[in-house]
Amino acid sequence: MTYKTVTLKRGKEESLERFHPWVFSGAIATADDTIEEGDLVTVYAHDGRLIGNGHSQIGSIAVRMLTFDDTPIDADFFTRRLNDAYKMRQSLGLQRDDNNAYRLVHGEGDFLPGLVVDIYGPTAVMQAHSPGMHFARDIIARALTMLPGVRNVYYKSETTLPYKAHLDPMNDYIIGGMETDEALENGLRFHVDWLKGQKTGFFVDQRENRRLLEQYSRGRKVLNMFCYTGGFSVYALRGGAELVHSVDSSAKAVHLTDDNVALNFAAEDTRHKSFAEDAFKFLDNMEKDAYDLIILDPPAFAKHKSALRNALVGYRRLNAKALEKIAPGSILFTFSCSQAVSKEQFRLAVFSAAAQTRRKVRILHQLTQPADHPINIYHPEGEYLKGLVLYVE
């Protein structure tokens, strides 16, 4: 494998020496003019010191670093990194008889920028966010099947790769095929639709937060807004909720939720109902005090920094609508998965919603992403999920 060369401007090696894994295009002094997107490159400081190896790409992030030394990026490299990721999940106790759904690789958080892998029983669902990882997909897939229990690798890059016609993104099995679409999370069963669903088919990042919700559900009337696959709904039902209503604007999501409820509870259990409706409309039309536990887990309102202001207004409006109608003595689980919105900004948006509705609100828990979505301490951008559990009088 030949490595192309990139040399940085004076001083631009500093963040890399603190292991931040991105080289921005403005930091580059000279680069081989034969570099193509996805090529392996070796990065040097202005004085010729070797910084490490990475994947090149077009855009403001020009290189994503994979090593901070001269270790080659080959099959052994991926095998070692995937083994490390697997060992870490094992030590977290995520691979158990009653749990086989978890994130195995969380990009920079597992020192593999551009790569995401979620495990659903015998199937690994892999997404490349960079051309370099896309080109390495076969090596990575083979390394994945060397891990205990992984027999199938589904690769899903049509929605994650930067748009470039010549990259030939694909959604297909690289190894194996459909064995089962069922995965277990904390003893609950879920159909996971990696073929057509969002992301890898399931939001494993809410696992611990769903478990917390379960503990608050007994005897409550629960509204699960933005339900997608119904994760929170199923936990609330197991937790002994009196009723659970699930809402999503996508009819397909509502079907997924109904299927997952049916997979876990007998047909005689009639506590659950679902609605294919817009969340804001549903909140406008619902009766006051109808629910005493509400979950708000919307899609990222800010996909980029440029959308931040509107996103904050969106979070405020959404939370205000829920706070206006929620019964006294209620619990509100409210989330933001926008990377561009900080913890503090989100909390301020929720604070504004509380002040606007003049409810007495206290914070019971401050939630974040679980341990299988680790944040590389040198890459704080990896923090994205934030949540508050509120007690509303």
Interface residue list for ligand SAH (CB under 6 A): 203, 206, 226-229, 231-232, 248-250, 253, 278-279, 297-299
Q: 385, 353, 204, 191: which is closest to 283 by C-alpha? A: 353
Q: Supply the minimum distance, in Å, between the C-beta of residue 235 and ligand SAH.
A: 9
Q: Supply the minimum distance, in Å, between the C-beta of residue 71 and ligand SAH.
A: 37
Q: Supply the minimum distance, in Å, between the C-beta of residue 144 and ligand SAH.
A: 24
Task: Identify the three-state secondary structure at position 336.
Answer: strand
Of 223 and 354, the one with the shorter C-beta distance to ligand SAH is: 223
Distance (Å) of CA 146 to CA 82, 91, 121, 183? 9, 18, 15, 20
Of 7 and 206, the one with the shorter C-beta distance to ligand SAH is: 206
Give one DSSP letter per residue of 156-171, joined into a string: E-TTTSPP-GGG---E
Q: Supply the minimum distance, in Å, between the C-beta of residue 276 and ligand SAH.
A: 9
Q: Supply the minimum distance, in Å, between the C-beta of residue 370 and ligand SAH.
A: 12
Of 112 and 225, the one with the shorter C-beta distance to ligand SAH is: 225
Environment class of 329 (CB within 10 Å of its CB; exposed 0-12, middle 13-18, buried 19+):
exposed
Q: Supply the minimum distance, in Å, between the C-beta of residue 232 and ligand SAH.
A: 5
Phi, psi of 103 (to 5 degrees): -90, 125
Of 70 and 278, the one with the shorter C-beta distance to ligand SAH is: 278
Query: Largest Cα–Cα distance of the chain, in whole Å?
Result: 73
Of 55 and 325, the one with the shorter C-beta distance to ligand SAH is: 325
Q: List the beta bridge partners of residue 54.
A: 41, 65
Of 87 and 304, the one with the shorter C-beta distance to ligand SAH is: 304
Report angle CA 187, 251, 224 to the nearest 5 degrees.
Answer: 50
Distance (Å) of CA 86 to CA 73, 144, 149? 19, 10, 11
Distance from C-alpha of 218 to C-alpha of 241, rounded to nearest angstrom:
5
Q: Supply the minimum distance, in Å, between the C-beta of residue 179 and ligand SAH.
A: 23
Environment class of 299 (CB within 10 Å of its CB; exposed 0-12, middle 13-18, buried 19+):
exposed
Of 21 and 298, the one with the shorter C-beta distance to ligand SAH is: 298
